[in-house]
Amino acid sequence: AEDPPPVRVQVTDGDKGLVWTADEYYRLRTVHRLIGAMVGGLPGFRQQDQVHGLPLQLSPEEVTLAVSRGWVTLYEAPDPLADVTADEGGAPPAKEARRPPQANRKGWGVKPKPGQGAKKARGDAGGDGDVARMLANTSFVTVPLREPDEGDGEREEGDGRTVQWTYPRTGTQRARCAVFADLHDRGLTMTTGIKFGADFLAYPGDPMAYHAGFCVRVVPDDAHMRCQHLSGWARTAHGARKNLVLASAVAAGNDGDGDDGRLRVEYLTVMPDVEQSSNARYRKV
């Protein structure tokens, strides 16, 4: 059987990627262990924020790993605001709106004045004049409701163009990508760890089936660390039944062979002291 084509990822602002089809999302999750986060709304649940649907949003580290392994191809969708058509019909400016009558204390509307209905009937209320005044000085924007190439499967000219992935650009970003790739190579599956004050959560398998065992924080190798910060990170991770992992990325050429740009990842694991915890009596002898 032929290998499936690379997953198409739309590049967005903020160095993130969007995946628009269910088949590509399933392949990224089951084959490549890239989880991402659903950010789309479900048509039947427009007023909720608990369950999301497509598109799938990939983090910068996930896109960087996928690009380096050849799992995805990147493209940039056309800007929907580039084709804005303004109303240039020369409609007369709207007249200054009168202040509506205030309701009385009992909540009933104010009784119309004599002849007010006849005056309104003589005007063009509800006609073309009101429509022209409402549309004066307005503009129209085309909002895309689907992935640009969705439909007949053929890409039309201008639907999207391939882009060059420029992330990471700083030392901190390179360290995050190096740690993410190293943990992925070790068989772990990562998601964002922002809920627990960490950079990543590391799972032994799919997050739908496993509990995260590690809260991973990426720290500079030569950074000075305050005891209060270390204690807070450890208490947060241990309170959620996870181990705290401090990861650093150092140049692999520090052994005298020269710096070739490669990074070596080092880890320090902070485990809870079971003897001093409230669960010590449950420890197996």
Residues 16, 60: contact at Cβ < 8 Å?
Answer: yes
Reported confidence tier of residue 217, pLDDT bands at 50, 70, 90: very high
Q: What share of the chain has pLDDT > 70, as a percent?
A: 64
Q: Please list the active-site residues.
A: 203, 211, 242
Is the separation of the CB atoms in 66 and 9 below 8 Å? yes
Q: What's residue 93's pLDDT?
A: 56
Residue 84: pLDDT over 60:
no
Tokens 């509506």: give the residue.
Answer: 100
Q: Which residues contact 77 (CB under 8 A, 6 or more apart)?
A: 10, 144, 147, 148, 159, 160
pLDDT at 272 over 90: no
Q: Pick the most confident of 77-81, 107-111, 123-127.
A: 77-81
| Top-confidence residue, 151 or 15 | 15
pLDDT tens digits, 222-270: 889 899 999 999 999 999 999 999 999 999 875 545 455 789 999 999 9
- The model's pTM is 0.71
The rounded distance, in Å, linking the Cα atoms of 5 and 22 is: 15
Q: What is the pLDDT of residue 244?
A: 96
pLDDT tens, residue by residue, 164-202: 999 999 999 999 999 999 999 999 999 999 999 999 999
Taking the CA of residue 110 as centre, how many other CA atoms within 13 Å lie in the half-sphere pointing to its CB? 10
Chain-wide mean pLDDT for the chain?
A: 79
Q: Is the pLDDT of residue 32 over 60?
A: yes
Q: Residue 270: what are its φ and ψ, rounded to 5°?
A: -110, 110
Please write the tens of the pLDDT for every residue from 141-171.
555 555 555 544 444 444 567 789 999 999 9
The residue assigned the tokens 């391939």 is 162
For position 228, what pLDDT does the model report?
93
Q: What average pLDDT does this structure show over 79-86?
A: 55
Q: Bigger pLDDT: 99 or 56?
A: 56
- 58 pLDDT above the threshold of 60: yes
Task: Read off the pLDDT of each residue in 34-49 and give the average, rounded to a whole number.
Answer: 85
What secondary structure does DSSP assign to 87-132, as a single string? --S-PPPPPPPPPPPPP-TTSPPPPPPTTHHHHHHHTTTTSHHHHH
Classify residue 213 as left (phi > 0), alpha (psi -120 to 50) or beta.
alpha
Q: Quick count: other Cβ atoms within 10 Å of Cβ 281?
A: 6
Q: Place 81 in a pLDDT band, splitting at 50, 70 and 90.
A: low
Q: What is the mean pLDDT of residues 11-40?
A: 94
pLDDT tens-place string over residues 114-136: 655 555 555 555 566 676 776 66
